[in-house]
Structure 1
């Protein structure tokens, strides 16, 4: 008789701990919400942008249109990665791909700018300017590029 409640308690604990792990990695974070969600994100991002010149305000403040972020790994290290656009309408020509380490101590980004008015038959990949922020190594640069390639409108 006592085993049923014990099993039920064990099952409840197991299910709730699994749910907590999934919630921590469910992609519900958005780039444009990070700086207000945790002071550590703000501090880390501030240290990245203070070393850069001539960044637009939407990049400095991580404000604009954003999709959900995803958790990815690079050489065993976990990162929360996601896109940010100046506005939804300008996403084709101005976007930022951001990666924060899961411990929130490191941040990297790739600012992608395509000339405004690029004809639809021209590949944005070939005409884009890429600027890396936070001094990412080659592995992180590849991670950021891969995230950009996941966009079906990027060719």
Structure 2
């Protein structure tokens, strides 16, 4: 390979790697957000600063999370996804998080179901909902719709 083609080949390989990384965009998870951009952390701190008795995993957005999705509400785009302390505790306690694309607004819904609820009992009928970030009725509906997408939620 000539001296001219080696840098060209290297550039093409790097360009391909960048394209492959871009293809993975959208694989964001709620438990990774606070470490990806300081604006996410700032916004989340504003949401939880006046809240009382939140579990540590909610305050830190840590735990087990699934992929977040882009969802529209009232003409705005949000990154929305679920978070649980652990996969095992998801049935009794979970958080649905929504961040605006500009990272300036965040909302969440903490859902708690009595631990040990028999499998034949509907979690929907026994759940308590706590909204964080003062979501309006439209955003509350969006958060509840995300919860309904879980096949174990009925």
TM-score, normalised with respect to structure 1: 0.84
Give the CA deviation at 1:75: 1.3
In 2, the alpha carbon distance for the partners of 1:151 and 1:118 equals 17
- Deviating above 2 A after TM superposition, structure 1's stretches of 4 or more consecutive aligned residues are none
SS in 1 for 2:43: helix
Which residue is equivalent to 2:117?
Answer: 118
SS in 2 for 1:58: helix
In 2, the alpha carbon distance for the partners of 1:27 and 1:124 equals 30
Aligned length: 136
Which residue is equivalent to 1:79?
Answer: 78
SS in 1 for 2:26: coil
Which residue is equivalent to 1:142?
Answer: 141
Specify every segment of 5 or more residues in structure 1 that has no aligned partner in the other structure, as ranges: 1-15
In 2, the alpha carbon distance for the partners of 1:78 and 1:27 equals 13
What is the alpha-carbon root mean square deviation over aligned residues? Answer: 1.7
- Answering whether residue 61 of structure 2 is matched by residue 47 of structure 1, we say no
SS in 1 for 2:138: helix
Give the CA deviation at 1:64: 0.3
TM-score, normalised with respect to structure 2: 0.84
Which residue is equivalent to 1:12?
Answer: none
In 2, the alpha carbon distance for the partners of 1:23 and 1:69 equals 15
TM-superposition CA deviations, 1:80-133 (whole Å, max 9, x none): 000000100010001000000000000000000000000111000000010000
SS in 2 for 1:71: strand
In 1, the alpha carbon distance for the partners of 2:138 and 2:34 equals 25
Specify every segment of 5 or more residues in structure 2 that has no aligned partner in the other structure, as ranges: 1-15
Which residue is equivalent to 2:150?
Answer: 151
TM-superposition CA deviations, 1:7-59 (whole Å, max 9, x none): xxxxxxxxx9xx79x858x5300000000010000000000000101000000
Q: How does 1:82-101 map to 2 (within 5 A)?
A: 82-101=81-100
In 2, the alpha carbon distance for the partners of 1:23 and 1:74 equals 25
